[in-house]
């Protein structure tokens, strides 16, 4: 089964499908990745071509399998406190001015396997004390959301976690779980994980004080970036902050937010 080749025409079909479903542009150099990740699904169904698999996920009976394919092609690894300057900004510039009369609400809009929202949860619980806060963490992949809900990670994902944060908010694995960590229940229960496709109309989620859309726009073309940001902005409070990755920018994407610093924006 390893000898099955992903033909250029078949790759273009998956490219178009992924862009149509999730707004993600799969670069030409990702052909080997697509072939490798989907090969196990060909073996699962005893299919003899990637074209047969594409026809399966495109059929009326392939709805469930299309979600599996989406998971396989969109799963990306991350780690705790990625781009730490954002968390420093949150601690020093945002949370000291949080409104005391209502919960401070944060949306991790492309949360992947959960390290970002749990990093946010550690920051909020340490900075806000007994003041209420809420975190919504969403992703298009059911697979990474299932992983995120467990709060169980390899220890190498925690290289940005201080010993203090690790000891107060995580359990260190021993025996068969050695080399792993488990986020403490008091944080896991505070994060609401939900499957959302940012390339579709969004449900009523209320307003947030902070929205993070980090390390995902690099997969979108310009038109998709504009549409996704425009879907998110109605959910950001006036005066709220919108964060993208240090490698990303809203230049040419959105002109209705004020630039605080590179990758950090505020709604007037």
Q: What is the pLDDT of residue 61?
A: 74
CATH code of the domain covering residue 56: 1.10.155.10
Q: What is the pLDDT of residue 268?
A: 96
**Residue 1 forms part of a structural domain:** no
- Catalytic option among 71, 82, 105, 139: 139
Same domain, 154 and 46: no
**Which of 27, 49, 74 represents a domain boundary (last residue)?**
74
**Which of 30, 51, 74 represents a domain boundary (last residue)?**
74
Q: Rg of the chain over CA atoms, in angstroms? A: 20
Same domain, 28 and 92: no
CATH code of the domain covering residue 88: 3.40.50.150
Same domain, 161 and 232: yes
> Residue-wise pLDDT tens for the chain (268 aa)?
457 999 999 999 999 999 988 888 888 888 998 999 999 999 999 999 999 999 999 987 767 898 889 888 886 778 999 999 999 999 999 999 998 889 999 999 999 999 999 999 999 999 998 899 999 999 999 989 999 999 999 999 999 999 999 999 999 999 999 999 999 999 999 999 999 999 999 999 999 999 999 998 888 989 999 999 999 999 999 999 999 999 899 999 999 999 999 999 999 9
- Catalytic option among 37, 226, 231, 237: 37
**Residue 79 forms part of a structural domain:** no
Number of domains in the chain: 2
Three-state secondary-structure class, residue 113: coil
Same domain, 242 and 206: yes
**Which of 25, 47, 74 represents a domain boundary (last residue)?**
74
Q: What is the pLDDT of residue 75?
A: 67
Same domain, 117 and 201: yes
Phi, psi for 158 (deg, rounded to 5): -105, 25
Q: Which helix (H) or strand (E) holds 243?
A: strand 236-244
- Asked about 139 being catalytic, the answer comes back as yes
- Asked about 37 being catalytic, the answer comes back as yes
Q: What is the pLDDT of residue 102?
A: 94
Instruction: Give the DSSP letter of residue 91.
Output: I
DSSP 127-194: HHTTS-EEEEEEES-HHHHHHHHHTEEEGGGGTTS-HHHHHHHEEE--GGGTTEEEE-HHHHTTEEEE
Domain containing 187: what range? 84-266
**Residue 108 forms part of a structural domain:** yes
Q: Which of 105, 106, 100 is nearest to 131 (CA)?
A: 100
């Amino acid at each position: 089964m390893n000898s099955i080749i992903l033909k250029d025409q078949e790759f273009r079909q998956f490219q178009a499908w992924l862009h149509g479903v999730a707004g993600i542009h799969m670069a030409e150099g990702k052909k080997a990745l697509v072939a490798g990740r989907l090969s196990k699904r060909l073996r699962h169904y005893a299919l003899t071509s990637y074209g047969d698999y594409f026809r399966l996920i495109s059929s009326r009976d392939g709805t469930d399998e299309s979600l599996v394919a989406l998971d396989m092609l969109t799963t990306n690894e991350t780690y705790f406190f990625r781009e730490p300057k954002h968390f420093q900004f949150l601690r020093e510039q945002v949370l000291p001015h949080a409104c005391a009369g209502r919960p401070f609400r944060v949306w991790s809009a492309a949360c992947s396997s959960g390290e970002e929202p749990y990093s946010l949860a550690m920051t909020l619980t340490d900075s806000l004390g007994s003041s209420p806060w809420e975190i919504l963490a969403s992703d298009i992949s059911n697979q990474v959301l299932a992983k995120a809900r467990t709060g169980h990670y390899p220890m190498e994902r925690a290289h940005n976690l201080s010993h203090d944060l690790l000891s107060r908010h995580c359990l260190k694995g021993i025996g068969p779980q050695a080399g792993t960590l488990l986020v403490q229940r008091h944080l896991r229960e505070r994060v609401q994980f939900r499957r959302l496709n940012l390339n579709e109309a969004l449900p009523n989620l209320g307003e947030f004080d902070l929205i993070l859309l980090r390390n995902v726009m690099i997969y979108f073309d310009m038109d998709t970036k504009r549409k996704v940001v425009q879907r998110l902005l109605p959910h950001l409070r006036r005066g709220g902050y919108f964060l993208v990755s240090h490698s990303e920018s809203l230049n040419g994407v959105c002109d209705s937010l004020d630039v605080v610093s590179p990758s950090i924006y505020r709604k007037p």
